[in-house]
Structure 1
Amino acid sequence: MKRFLIFLSVFLGLTATALRAEPTFIPAPPEIAAKSYILMDAKTGDIIVQHNADEKLPPASLTKLMTAYVTEYELARGDISLDDKVRISEKAWRMGGSRTFLREGSVVPLRTLIQGMIVQSGNDATVAIAEHVAGSESAFVDLMNQHAKLLGMKDSHFSDATGYPIPDHYSSAHDIAIVARAIINDYPQNYHFYKEKYFTYNGIRQPNRNRLLWRDPSVDGLKTGHTQAAGYCLAASALRNGTRLISVVMGTKTDEARANQSQKLLDYGFRYYQTRKLYSKGQVIANATVWGGAKNSVKVGFTDDVLVTLPRQDAKSIPAKLQLKPVIEAPIKVGEVLGKIIVGTDGNKILERNVVALEPVKQGGFFKRMFDKVKLFFMNLF
């Protein structure tokens, strides 16, 4: 029996008679003065612009995004709490570079250390967090590399928690965007830390080095980095009209340049692209025939919203093709994959996503099963 095909159109707020295909005009991306950069849709993970995005480079304090992700993972598990009291070790106190100015032997709430790490880029706060979570910085680094692998960060290896220059410590713009996206989507309850403009500890008030927090009201994160080897780096995120983008620039020449180049990337992305929801979680897109079941059909759809990044000027109707299994037999469980949907054309496939059963279907009685088997036999003859 041939595969069951259903041809659909994804309608975005218009009726079929109102649809009119219009040409899409998008200029080339802006020239970005950085060794490596990427622009990603935070909801879909689609890449809008990239250049040398998989090149292994020293990430400087962008490393702290990986440290923050691991910490937020442990917070979500309940293994640690923002109210935990952390005793500051000699190692943490002695850290050079950017500092929160912690005192050795003092006891500091974990929440304060996270603010020191994210807002002030404090190396001392970062080491204190690592030691609290895993017992030592080296043990915490093992967690960082394990999480990086699970997130699909293929061009990263971490040797410390801070980004302090050390051999065999590298990442890429693409990988930094991946962990930034995970922070935003997986732990939104903690994302407010990344937009704080100032943080004061020990009587010392320090500004967030992300200049875009002052220049662009849509920007609400994430993290800067700088060493001589890495140059000036910035992972930024902004939300405009329901679309959230992530930009990462690595290896710019000045503090001002990393802000300007990031702004150019974000403005380009928001000007010409947007996130669109094609289907909603639980939306029924077809009723598929079921053989040998207590019911003759099953509702088919998606377990999550189906989102895609598209040019703003694209036509409002997008062709979609639903491919169901040739034969769907009971019993069927909720969430069982019954086929896939392909959105786009043969020459321009936008996305491919599994479709699942939205309801269970039990096996039918003996005579119902036998009848359906006979019916299928004769159908396959023709």
Structure 2
Amino acid sequence: MRKFLALLMLLMISMNSTAGLVNAEADDPVLTSEAAVLMDTQSGAILFGKNAEVKMYPASLTKIATAIYAIETASLDEIVDVSEEIEKIDGTRVYLNPGEQVSLRKLIQGMLINSGNDASLAIAIHLDGSMDTYSKNINEFLKTNIGVEDTHFVNPHGLFDENHYTTAKDLGLILNYAMNNPDFREIFGTKQLEWDGESWDTTILSHHRMLKGEIPYEGVTGGKTGFVDQSKQTLATTADNGKLKLTAILLKSEYKRKIYEDTIKLFDYGFAAFKSSQIRKGETFTSGNLKFKASEDLLVTEPVEKGKRIVDKDGILRIQNGKGEIIQAIELKPLIGKKPEAKTETAPEPKQSGLLSVNTILGVVVLVGAAGVWMVNRKQKKSRRFRSR
């Protein structure tokens, strides 16, 4: 009997230990890349960061910005006359010829899928005429339309220049913004494409090993690689598990294998620890005696466990994780109460004032007094008449 009880207790301890492991919060991922950010693609919530606001060299991740800038400022059906300047370009190419006529869409495909530096340069010169004008315009576009704060680009391809820099956070913002555009999403998620050029007929392939399936990961929807000596390996990837959409940016990894391992760690962490929720238009929140509401349907990202929604006196809704860290902040609108509707009931008669009541009493007293005098006079008259008889 004692042996049975001892075995039973050991079994219960084992079960409790297992349950504790299942319910434990996911630990922050440990990365080898020098900088990183994990964001919700739709809500923009920052779910993890490592040196996310440190200025870094992005290499070919620059082409994400070039692509969305071109898509939103020109027609994809425009025909581009390839500039002679493309002959001077270094690095990866799609082997364009000077004077070759190519649609803007095809150039963006060659730039994002095969990382063609010549395609990038042809796009920039077509849009703005020179590198100086291109640099001025794309930086203004990124700041005004997307809200980046620590980015400055001097070229469209990402070849090294000490004045060409960004941050993991800014690249996440740029990629999230671009993913709202269906043309960008399609090209960014393309694994291969038949390329028919004047001097190069081939099938171009994405360089992103997770997107191609060489490194299996379910739900990858797009990706871009980058490398120059100064930036080392850089990688941008998007993924969707059907419930949550994630954006991962990794910068400055010494080894290509390691940067993919870091990306997988970020996605595993994000999909396990967070969920996407919707706040409906008109939903109300309170802060003390103050009330606020959502002015539109909103997507928020919340921890699967131990998350909190906190609203301050200014109507800022903050989503916190179990550590008290803010992962998203949303501005709500003050809730203005409705004016009371007019009543159809008959209003009660106004009360008499105190002065009116006193006057009424005095009037009654005077009347009673007069009646009394009249009665006395009448009795006296009767008495005299009686005595006269």
Identify whether the pair has TM-score above 0.5, normalized to the shorter chain: yes
Displacement of 1:268: 1.3
Of 213-222 and 233-242, more deviation after overlay is shown by: 213-222
User: Corresponding residue for 1:14?
Assistant: none
Measure the CA separation in 1 of the matches of 2:336 and 2:76: 40
CA distance in 2, matches of 1:303, 1:189: 29
- The gaps in structure 1 that reach 5 residues or longer are 1-22, 75-79, 287-298, 325-338, 366-382
Alignment of structure 1 residues 105-124 onto 2, 5 Å: 105-124=99-118
**SS, match of residue 246 in structure 2:** strand
Deviation string 1:144-182 (CA, Å, 9 cap, x unpaired) is 211232333222211111101123111111111110111
For residues 317-368 of structure 1, the C-alpha deviation after alignment (integer angstroms, 9 at most, x for no partner) is x6665869xxxxxxxxxxxxxx6656679x9486554444899999x99xxx
The whole-number CA distance in structure 2 between the counterparts of 1:179 and 1:311 is 24
Alignment partner, residue 15 of structure 1: none
For residues 35-54 of structure 1, the C-alpha deviation after alignment (integer angstroms, 9 at most, x for no partner) is 11111111222211111111
Structure 2 vs 1, CA of residues 226 and 340 (structure 1 numbering), >3 Å: closer, same or farther? closer
Residue among 138, 141, 161 paired with 1:147: 141
Paired AA for residue 221 in structure 1: G
SS of 1:154's equivalent in the other structure is coil
CA apart distance, 1:30: 2.1
1:35 aligns with 2:34: yes
- The 1:230/1:25 distance shift into structure 2, 3 A limit, reads same
Superposed, 1:126-165 pairs within 5 Å as 126-150=120-144, 151-165=146-160
Q: Does 1:227 align with 2:219?
A: no
Is 1:173 aligned to 2:168, yes or no?
yes
1:255 corresponds in structure 2 to 256
The one-letter amino acid paired with 1:216 is Y
The question of whether the paired residues in 2 share the 8 Å contact of 1:219 and 1:236 is answered with yes
Counterpart residue identity of residue 190, structure 1: F
Give the letter aligned to residue 92 of structure 2.
S
User: Structure 2 CA distance, aligned partners of 1:136 and 1:41?
Assistant: 35
Residue-by-residue CA offset, 1:174-204 (whole Å, 9 max, x unaligned):
111110111113x234311011111332313
Distance 1:284 1:35, change over 3 A: closer
State yes or no: 1:191 paired with 2:174. Answer: no
- The answer for the alignment partner of 2:72 in structure 1 is 73
Deviations 1:17-62 (A, max 9, x none): xxxxxx9732322221111111111122221111111111111001
Query: Does the CA-based 8 Å contact 2:26-2:272 persist in structure 1?
Result: no
Tell me: CA distance 1:229–1:29, structure 2 relative to 1, closer, same or farther (3 Å). same
Distance 1:341 1:266 in 2: 26
* Residue 182 in structure 1 maps to residue 180 in structure 2: no
2:244 match: 243
CA contact (8 A) 2:239 2:246 kept: yes
Letter aligned with residue 210 of structure 1: H
Q: Which amino acid aligns with 2:296?
A: D
Tell me if the contact between 1:35 and 1:252 (Cα under 8 Å) persists in the aligned partners. Answer: yes
**1:5 matched residue in structure 2:** none
- CA pair 92-358 structure 1, distance change in 2 beyond 3 A: farther
CA distance in 1, matches of 2:206, 2:249: 17
- Tell me if structure 1 keeps the 8 A contact 2:309–2:317: no
How many angstroms does 1:231 deviate by?
0.6
| Cα distance in structure 2, aligned partners of 1:262 and 1:30 | 10
* Partner amino acid, structure 1, of 2:95: F
Residue 123 of structure 1 aligns with an amino acid whose one-letter code is: N
Aligned partners of 2:282 and 2:296 also within 8 Å: no
Amino acid at match of 1:144: I
**Whole-Å Cα distance in 1 between the matches of residues 313 and 29 of structure 2?**
39
Does residue 312 (structure 1) correspond to residue 311 (structure 2)? The answer is no
TM-score, normalised with respect to structure 1: 0.72
Contact conserved, 1:60 with 1:165, CA < 8 A, in 2?
A: yes
Counterpart Cα distance in 2 of 1:358 and 1:149: 32
* SS in structure 1 at match of 2:248: strand
Secondary structure of residue in 2 paired with 1:62: helix
* Aligned partners of 1:43 and 1:275 also within 8 Å: no
Q: Which has the higher strand share?
A: 1
Structure 1 residues 360 and 130: CA distance shift in structure 2, 3 A: farther
* Residue 107 to residue 275, structure 1, CA distance change in 2 (3 Å): same
SS in 2 for 1:164: coil
Find the aligned partners of 2:194 and 2:38 in 1 and give their Cα distance.
32
Q: What residue ranges of structure 2 are gaps of 5+ in the alignment?
A: 1-21, 286-290, 343-389
Taking structure 2 as the reference length, the TM-score comes to 0.71
* 1:272 partnered with 2:267: no
> Is residue 54–residue 173 contact of structure 1 (8 Å, CA) maintained in 2?
yes
Could you tell me how far apart the structure 1 residues matched to 2:91 and 2:142 are?
A: 25
Q: Per the alignment, do residues 118 and 341 of structure 1 end up closer, same or farther by CA in structure 2, a change over 3 Å counting?
A: closer
